[in-house]
Structure 1
Amino acid sequence: MSALLAINKPVGPTSHDVLQTLRRITGEKRIGHAGTLDPLASGVLVVGIGRDATKQLDEAVQKEKEYLATITLGETSTTDDAEGLITKYQSPITNHQLPITKQPTKKEVAVVLKEFIGSIKQVPPPYSAVKIRGQEAYKRARRGEKLNMPPRDVDIFSIELISYDYPTLVL
């Protein structure tokens, strides 16, 4: 059997969980995926089944990707995501350049978002699926390990502000 599949992974299971399910269904041992989705992420997981298909996964990883994100301005959590406990709620918001003494307007948010377009160094949060010495960072972080997450080169080609209703924005 050889196939490339686009699996719509829901929130909850890990990418590895999806592969295990496919192994049980197909009986195929050689199954891999192109990129990892965090358990809290839903979206397309590209899966290769069989030798020929898994060889093509490196090419799929290099392709441009599109994300949909919902962000709550001013909140900080223990895990840097919606799963953690809110440890801080800051209002008014202060960005890295100017203190904002009122709720930012849609136009002000759009101006700040443009600063992220281009090649940037991104430090993944410790509670992410990025592997550190062969294990997902979130597993190590949940055990209380202090992680030094190295920055990664990320290219952001565009950011679209889909909706904004303070303090929530959708990109």
Structure 2
Amino acid sequence: MNSGILLVDKPQGITSHDVVSRVRRAAGTKKVGHAGTLDPMATGLLVTGINSSTRLLTFLVGLDKTYEATIRLGVSTTSDDADGEVVERTDASAVDDPGILRGIEQLSGDIDQVPTTVSAIKVDGRRAYDLAREGTKVELKARPVTVSRFDLLARRDAMADGLPVVDLDVVVDCTSGTYIRALARDLGRGLGVGGHLTALRRTRIGPFDLRDAAVLDGLEVAPRLLPPADVARRLFDVLELTPEQTIDLGHGKKLRVDRPDSTAPIAAITPAGLLAGLVSVSHGVVRPIVNFPTDEVSS
């Protein structure tokens, strides 16, 4: 086992960096990274890369994602989730299902979303959450995101600290950069009662599913590794190299191919089925984007 992509089911209460540290120990290498941070409160799919496969992670961050979540209406927090301090409580007993569905519809499709203040977004070179913790007022700009699915699965009426609240189980398909915490905040705000996220589980990143993820307890890395070529075939168009092309690409020589221009990455696969690199094509000439060592493969 030298290189590959490892899907991990992150447990609650630890950071994504904690997951990376544990994968490093299990894999016996320091070169481990991840694509797409999950907050400590969140659980679910975290994609990690080992050794040269960390070069693939850049191309995974922007993939669409699916989340299962629970939204509590009637309580607002500083972080828009259960880890923050409560700032307001409101009787949510008057919230009806038609109103909830209208609110969900307004937050679906192409929307402009103001990210959660307690986030990793940088403001003047500093993380927003660091500024917020210092008491600095942080104003983040709205940015376009797409929520392609926002479905209500269940509603539960409950009591919290003596006031009626409403818990909603939902599933969301969205583009990268969408804050599910912000959806909870904005849904509650639109209904006039406030809201925050009490549970979040990521179940999909692009073509990768939580059902294929490994748990951290007793983790054995090698049997769970996805070879970089297999991952690249799921994500990109493929250029099947000849033996001669494999050698020339490795030596940095110019390759000419009969295929349309493409600035999007193309996976260059060797006759042995290994990922030689990601390339683009311009005027019939193959141009390297990133190379991969074909002598470093998962076994």
TM-score band by shorter chain is 0.7 to 0.9
Match of 1:107 among 74, 77, 98: 98
* Corresponding position of 2:50: 49
Output aligned runs, 1:18-57, within 5 Å. Answer: 18-51=19-52, 53-57=53-57
- Which stretch has the larger CA shift, 137-146 or 56-65? 137-146
Separation of aligned partners in 2, 1:49 and 1:116: 37
1:11-22 map, 5 Å: 11-22=12-23
Q: TM-score, normalised by structure 1?
A: 0.81
CA contact (8 A) 2:155 2:169 kept: yes
Amino acid in structure 2 at the alignment position of 1:144: G
Give the CA deviation at 1:22.
1.6
Change (3 A) 1:136 1:25: farther
Q: Which moved more, 1:121-130 or 1:40-49?
A: 121-130
Residue identity matched to 1:31: V
SS at match of 2:20: helix
CA distance in 1, matches of 2:11, 2:18: 11
Normalised to the residue count of structure 2, the TM-score between the two structures is 0.49
Matched, 1:79 2:43: no
Tell me, what secondary structure is at the counterpart of 1:46?
A: strand
Indicate if the aligned counterparts of 1:30 and 1:50 stay in contact, CA closer than 8 A.
Answer: yes
Q: Report the equivalent of 1:170.
A: 169
1:126/1:21 Cα in 2 relative to 1: closer, same or farther (>3 Å)?
same
Gaps of at least 5 residues in structure 1 are 93-101
Contact 1:37 1:129 in 2 (8 A): no
Structure 2 CA distance, aligned partners of 1:41 and 1:7?
13
Residues 38 and 128 in structure 1, CA contact (< 8 A), matched pair in contact too: no
The number of residues matched between the two structures is 161
Q: Structure 1 residue 124: deviation in Å?
A: 1.7
Partner Cα separation in structure 1 for residue 39 and residue 86 of structure 2 = 19
Deviation (angstroms), 1:78:
2.7
CA offset at residue 63 of structure 1?
A: 2.0
Tell me which moved more, 110-119 or 156-165. Answer: 110-119
**In 2, Cα distance between equivalents of 1:136 and 1:46:** 23
Partner residue, 1:146: 137
Give the C-alpha shift of residue 160 in structure 1. 0.8
Match of 1:99 in 2: none
Summarize deviations over 1:41-87 as a string: whole Å, max 9, x none. Answer: 11100111111x21222332222211111111121123321122322
After superposition, give the CA deviation of every residue in 1:122-161 in whole Å (9 maximum; x if it has no partner).
2221223445567654344334343332333211001110
8 Å contact kept, 1:128–1:137: yes
Give 1:95's aligned residue. none
**RMSD between superposed Cα atoms in Å:** 2.2
User: What's the counterpart of residue 158 of structure 1?
Assistant: 149
Runs (4 or more) in structure 1 with deviation over 6 Å come to: none
Distance 2:127 2:136 in 1: 12
How many percent identity over aligned positions?
Answer: 39
What letter is aligned with 2:64? Answer: E
Displacement of 1:34: 1.1
Residue identity matched to 1:105: D
**Structure 2 counterpart SS, 1:156:** strand
Structure 2 equivalent of residue 90 of structure 1:
90
- Answer with 1 or 2: which has the greater Rg: 2
Go from structure 1 to structure 2 and tell me whether the alpha carbon gap of 1:16 and 1:157 turns closer, same or farther (over 3 Å shift).
same
Residue pair 1:38, 1:129 contacting (<8 A) in 2 also? no
